[in-house]
C-alpha cells in the first residue's frame, strides 16, 4: 500500500510538473509574439516552432495564410510590371508640347506654304514663260525626277510611317495581334484606286463618241456620199475619242495623286505643329525640302494637263491647293496642341490608317500612272539615247533625295 501510494504521488508530481512546464511554455510563446518585430518574422498561425526551424518560410508570412510562396530576389518583378503599366498609360495619354514657340510655329506655316508653292509653280511657269519653256529637256527631266520623288514618298515616308505608328507600344493588344495592318490597308487602297480608275476611264471613253454624235447632229451634218469619206470620218472620231479619253484619264490620275499627297501633307503638318524645342527647327527644315520636291512632282503633272480655257489659272489653282494642305494640318495641330495626345490609341489608329491608305494611293499612282505610263509613252520612245538615260537618272535621283530626307522627316 505504501508502495502504491508512493507511485501515485510520483505520477501526480509528474503530471503537475508537466502542467507547470506547459504553462511556462505557453507564457514564453505569448511573450515572443508580443515583442516588437516578432510578427514580421513569424506567422500568426501559431506554428512558431516549425517556422523557426525553416527560416525560408518565415520571410514575408506576416498577415498571410500559411503555404504562401517563398521569398526570392526575383519577387519584386511583378510589382515593377504593375507600376510600369500605369506609367506607360500616362505616357501614351500625355498632352501638351514642351518648348512650344507660337511665333516659330506661325512662321513655319508660311515657310512651308512658300516652299510647297515654289516647287509646284516652277514647272507650271516654265511651260508658260518663253525663256524658261525653251529648255524642254529641263522640264522633261523635272517630270521624271518628280516620279522618283512620289515613289520614295509612298514607300519610305508614308508606308514607313504607317508601320511605325500602328506598331507603337501604346496600341499593344488593341489591333488583334495582327502586325500587317499597314500593308493590308495599302493593298486595299491600291485595289480601290485600280477599280475606280477603271470604271471612270470606261465611262469617259463611252461619253466622248456620244458627245461627238450630238455635236454633229446639232451642226446639221449629213452622211457622206462616198464610202472613203465615211471611213475617214469614223477614223477621225475614233482618234479624237481616244485622245479625249487619254487626256481625261491623265487628269484623273493627277487628281488621285494629289489626293494621296494631300492626306499625307495634313498629317505631317499636324506632326510639325505639335513638335517643340530644337526638334522643331530640324523637322521644319526637312519638311520644307520635302514639300519643295513634292511640289515639283505635282507641278510637273499639272503642267502636262491640257485645259480648254484659262490653262494658266487652272494650273496655278491646282498648285495652290497642294501648297495649302500642309499649312492646313499645321493650323489644326496648333489649335488642338493642348488637348492632342499624339500617342493615344485613337490618334495612333487614325494617323496610321491614313498614312497606310495614302501610301497605297501613291504607290499605285507612282508605279502605274508615272513610271509605266511615262516610260512607255511614244514621246519617251522618240527620245535619244542620252535623254532616255538622263530620264532614268533623274528618276533615281528623285528616289535618293526623298530617301535621304526621310531620316529627319
Q: Where are the alpha helices (DSSP H) in 274-310?
A: 278-303
- Residues 39 and 46: their CA atoms lie apart, in Å, by 11
CA dist 386 to 91, 132, 149, 348, Å? 56, 21, 22, 47
Residue % of the chain over a pLDDT of 90:
39
CB atoms within 10 A of CB 89: 12
- Residues 32 and 48: their CA atoms lie apart, in Å, by 10
CB atoms within 10 A of CB 192: 14
pLDDT at 43 over 60: no
CA dist 244 to 207, 308, 362, 400, 408, Å? 10, 12, 24, 35, 43
Q: What is the pLDDT of residue 230?
A: 52
Q: Where are the beta strands (DSSP E) in 9-110?
A: none
Taking only the tens place, the pLDDT of each residue in 60-94 is: 444 444 444 444 455 545 545 556 566 667 778 87
- Residues 1 and 24: their CA atoms lie apart, in Å, by 34
Q: What is the pLDDT of residue 46?
A: 38
Q: Are 245 and 201 in contact (CB under 8 A)?
A: yes
Backbone angles phi, psi at 294, to 5 degrees: -65, -40
What nine digits make up the cell of 117? 508653292
- Residues 177 and 216: their CA atoms lie apart, in Å, by 62
**Which of 94-108, 166-180, 219-233, 347-361 shows the lowest mean pLDDT across its residues?**
219-233
The DSSP secondary structure of 124-161, one letter per residue, reads: HHHHHSHHHHT-HHHHHHHHHHHHHHHHHIIIIIIIHH
CB atoms within 10 A of CB 323: 24
CB atoms within 10 A of CB 409: 20
pLDDT at 269 over 50: yes
Taking only the tens place, the pLDDT of each residue in 288-315 is: 999 999 999 999 889 888 888 888 899 9
What nine digits make up the cell of 385? 539615247
- Residues 354 and 370: their CA atoms lie apart, in Å, by 22
Which span out of 34-48, 65-79, 217-231, 304-318 was modeled with the highest average pLDDT? 304-318
Q: What is the pLDDT of residue 123?
A: 87
- Residues 393 and 404: their CA atoms lie apart, in Å, by 16
Q: What is the CA radius of gyration of the chain?
A: 39
How does the average pLDDT of the chain come out, rounded? 76
Q: Determine the average pLDDT of the residues in 349-378.
A: 92
- Residues 259 and 268: their CA atoms lie apart, in Å, by 15
pTM of the model: 0.68
Amino acid at each position: 500500500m505504501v508502495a502504491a501510494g508512493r507511485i501515485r504521488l510520483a505520477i501526480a508530481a509528474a503530471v503537475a510538473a508537466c502542467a507547470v512546464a506547459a504553462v511556462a511554455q505557453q507564457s514564453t510563446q505569448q511573450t515572443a509574439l508580443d515583442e516588437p518585430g516578432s510578427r514580421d518574422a513569424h506567422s500568426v498561425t501559431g506554428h512558431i516552432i516549425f517556422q523557426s526551424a525553416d527560416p525560408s518560410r518565415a520571410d514575408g508570412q506576416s498577415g498571410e495564410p500559411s503555404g504562401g510562396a517563398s521569398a526570392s530576389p526575383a519577387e519584386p518583378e511583378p510589382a515593377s510590371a504593375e507600376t510600369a503599366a500605369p506609367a506607360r498609360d500616362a505616357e501614351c495619354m500625355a498632352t501638351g508640347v514642351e518648348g512650344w514657340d507660337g511665333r516659330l510655329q506661325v512662321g513655319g506655316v508660311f515657310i512651308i506654304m512658300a516652299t510647297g508653292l515654289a516647287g509646284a509653280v516652277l514647272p507650271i511657269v516654265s511651260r508658260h514663260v518663253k525663256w524658261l519653256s525653251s529648255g524642254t529637256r529641263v522640264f522633261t527631266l523635272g517630270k521624271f525626277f518628280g516620279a522618283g520623288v512620289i515613289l520614295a514618298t509612298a514607300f519610305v515616308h508614308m508606308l514607313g510611317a504607317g508601320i511605325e505608328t500602328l506598331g507603337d507600344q501604346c496600341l499593344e493588344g488593341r489591333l488583334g495581334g495582327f502586325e500587317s495592318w499597314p500593308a493590308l490597308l495599302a493593298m486595299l487602297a491600291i485595289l480601290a484606286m485600280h477599280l475606280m480608275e477603271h470604271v471612270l476611264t470606261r465611262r469617259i471613253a463611252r461619253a466622248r463618241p456620244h458627245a461627238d454624235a450630238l455635236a454633229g447632229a446639232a451642226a446639221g451634218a449629213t452622211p457622206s456620199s462616198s464610202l472613203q469619206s465615211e471611213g475617214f470620218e469614223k477614223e477621225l472620231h475614233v482618234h479624237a475619242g481616244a485622245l479625249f479619253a487619254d487626256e481625261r484619264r491623265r487628269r484623273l490620275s493627277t487628281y488621285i495623286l494629289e489626293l494621296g499627297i494631300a492626306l499625307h501633307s495634313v498629317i505631317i503638318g499636324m506632326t510639325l505643329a505639335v513638335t517643340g524645342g530644337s526638334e522643331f527647327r530640324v523637322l521644319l527644315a526637312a519638311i520644307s525640302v520635302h514639300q519643295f520636291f513634292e511640289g515639283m512632282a505635282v507641278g510637273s503633272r499639272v503642267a502636262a494637263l491640257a485645259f480648254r480655257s484659262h490653262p494658266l489659272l487652272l494650273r496655278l489653282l491646282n498648285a495652290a491647293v497642294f501648297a495649302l494642305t500642309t499649312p492646313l494640318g499645321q493650323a489644326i495641330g496648333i489649335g488642338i496642341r493642348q488637348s492632342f495626345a499624339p500617342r493615344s490609341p485613337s490618334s495612333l489608329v487614325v494617323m496610321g490608317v491614313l498614312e497606310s491608305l495614302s501610301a497605297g494611293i501613291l504607290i499605285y499612282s507612282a508605279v502605274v500612272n508615272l513610271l509605266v505610263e511615262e516610260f512607255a509613252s511614244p514621246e519617251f520612245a522618240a527620245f535619244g539615247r542620252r535623254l532616255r538615260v538622263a530620264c532614268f537618272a533623274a528618276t533615281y535621283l528623285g528616289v535618293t533625295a526623298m530617301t535621304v530626307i526621310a531620316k529627319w522627316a
